[in-house]
Amino acid sequence: MVDRTLTTAVFCVCAALLAVLLRQHCREQSMLLSIAACGAVLYGALAYAAPLIENVQEIFVSAGISESYITLIFKATAVCMITQITCELCRDCGESAIASAAELWGRGAVAFLTLPMIRTIIGQVCSFLQVEK
């Protein structure tokens, strides 16, 4: 894993250097290179995601956590990662307002995704408090 992490780091640094060099001549091509590099790293990360997801699911199931909550957690994590990459790419283009809008969308999406879990937690707290009275 360490060797692949080092390879990915070298790839990212080389892509960043090329993007900086291209930015002097053509900002559009520099941006396309950045997007392609992010896509390549994301694709490589997805190769490791399947075994990781399986292990985390086993841990959650053994802890008695519902499968639907596990799915929500993974979806929220994916939204956070996609939003982070999108915001950084927008900021690299000098579009901080668009990056802020993307951050706002990501926060709203995570809040919307977690509503069922929040409802369940609040319901359990309320039922616990009613039992205690």
Q: How far is residue 64 CA from its own chain's centroid?
A: 25
Confidence of residue 68 (pLDDT cuts 50, 70, 90): confident
Please determine, for residue 133, whether its predicted confidence score (pLDDT) is greater than 50. no
**Residue 1 per-residue DSSP state:** -
The whole-model pTM stands at: 0.70
- 10 Å Cβ neighbour count for 39? 11
Dist. CA 21–CA 111, nearest whole Å: 39
Q: What is the pLDDT of residues 5-52, one digit of tens each?
A: 888 888 888 888 898 888 888 888 888 998 899 889 988 888 877 888
Q: Is the pLDDT of residue 131 over 80?
A: no
Predicted pLDDT of residue 111: 92
**Percentage of the chain with pLDDT > 90?**
17
Tell me which DSSP letter residue 63 carries: T
Q: Residue 75's CB: how many other CB atoms inside 10 A?
A: 14
Q: Is residue 104 over pLDDT 90?
A: yes
Q: Give the whole-angstrom CA distance, residue 11 versus residue 105.
A: 30
pLDDT in tens, 73-90: 888 988 998 999 899 888
pLDDT digits (tens, 9 = 90+) for 40-61: 998 888 887 788 888 888 888 8
